[in-house]
Amino acid sequence: MSLAEPEISTQQEASAVAVETPLRRFLSDYFESPIATAALAVLFLLVCLAVLAPVISPQNPYDLAEVDVLDSRLPPGSEGMTGYTFWLGTDGAGRDLLSAMLYGLRISLAVGVMSGLIATVLGSLVGLTAAYVGGRVETLIMRIVDMQLSFPAILIALMLIAVLGKGVDKIVIALVTVQWAYYARTVRGTAIIERRKEYVEAARCLGLTHTRILLKHILPNCLPPLIVVATVQAAHAIALEATLSFLGVGLPQTEPSLGLLISNGFEYMLSGKYWISFFPGLLLLATILAINLVGDRLRDVLNPRLTR
């Protein structure tokens, strides 16, 4: 270190003391990367599109009164029977592809987020319990986690669907089962380090209950790695649901997610009608890519070992 540096840093600190909260530091770190900023913006846009799908989509693709079968398989940009222009073309049933995609995105995100939330809660609780209780319980839980993680997610999901059958609830169960182990492992890994710290000892001395110590003291300190895993897993869950739906063992035709739209376009692919599969796939790719890029950045920003 040179002699001039301490002076500068004290000056910086003086001006930073007022503004620099952990959240602000985190935000400014995050937005340093233009790609990550763009990815977050895209993700925000996609979520808005999904939430507002019934309001903004040009057509309700599942209202039979609005769909005309005579409009089926029109290429992008062509005009339909009612004089309406289908910018991304229509699918096999004459639905406006753009509208169907917005609705599909809504379903894909909903299934991904819902299974992600359930898995986060379940996995975190199991991981916390393992770390806090220790001993045989911990060994047993972690063995189960290790065993499950030695099998690929798609295989576990297929196993469950083979046993349980098809349906929305079954898909959510499969996605939760596939994901919980990652959360459990992550939370347990952080929690065994946190458990030995002084603030936990202090909380114990105060006579706080185990539940309180776990949820209010240890869990908040496990959040940074948990957030990173949750982001990456959200992308995995969405991709997995799309894959299962594409294979015809995922969501039913009444819940047309992006994967199902792509699957429906498959039969028209060989006759050169590419758009029915192409555009939903592109939207799926954009969603997964945006989440992955945000996750990558979060990992860099939240990892204390990488702090510059």
Partner 1 sequence: MTAFILRRLMQSVIVVVAMSVVVFLGVHVIGNPVYLLINPQADQQEIEATIRALGLDRPIWEQYLYFVRGALIGDLGKSFVFGEPALRVILQRMPATLELAFAALFMAIVIGIPLGLYAGLKPESPFSKIIMAGSILGFSLPTFWVGLMLIMVFAVMLGWLPSTGRGAAATFFGITSSLFTLDGLTHVLLPALNLALLKISLVIRLARAGTRETIHQDYIKFARAKGLSQRRIVGVHLLKNILIPIVTVLGIEFGNLVAFSVVTETIFAWPGMGRLLISSIQTLDRPVIVAYLIIIVLMFVVINLIVDILYSVLDPRVRIGERTQ
User: Where on the chain is the footprint of partner 1 (CB under 8 A)?
Assistant: 147, 150-152, 154-155, 158-165, 235, 239, 242-243, 246-249, 259, 262, 265-266, 269-270, 272, 274, 277-278, 281, 284-285, 288-289, 292-293, 296
Q: Hey, what's the torsion of the CAs at 237, 155, 168, 50, to 10 degrees?
A: 20
Q: What share of the chain is helix, strand, coil (3-state, %, to 5)?
A: 75, 0, 25
Distance CA 133, CA 297 (A): 33
Shortest distance in whole angstroms from residue 259 CB to partner 1:
8
79 DSSP β-pair partners: 85
Shortest distance in whole angstroms from residue 288 CB to partner 1:
5
Shortest distance in whole angstroms from residue 282 CB to partner 1:
8
Shortest distance in whole angstroms from residue 247 CB to partner 1:
5
Nearer to partner 1, 119 or 290 (CB): 290
Token pair of 134 as six digits: 């220790």
Nearer to partner 1, 191 or 261 (CB): 261
Distance CA 224, CA 95 (A): 43
Shortest distance in whole angstroms from residue 243 CB to partner 1:
6
Shortest distance in whole angstroms from residue 160 CB to partner 1:
8
Distance CA 264, CA 296 (A): 32
Nearer to partner 1, 200 or 228 (CB): 228
Shortest distance in whole angstroms from residue 241 CB to partner 1:
10
Distance CA 176, CA 157 (A): 9
Nearer to partner 1, 79 or 267 (CB): 267
Nearer to partner 1, 225 or 281 (CB): 281
Nearer to partner 1, 219 or 298 (CB): 298
Distance CA 173, CA 87 (A): 37
159 phi, psi to nearest 5 deg? -55, -50
Nearer to partner 1, 221 or 292 (CB): 292
85 phi, psi to nearest 5 deg? -90, 125
Distance CA 201, CA 209 (A): 12
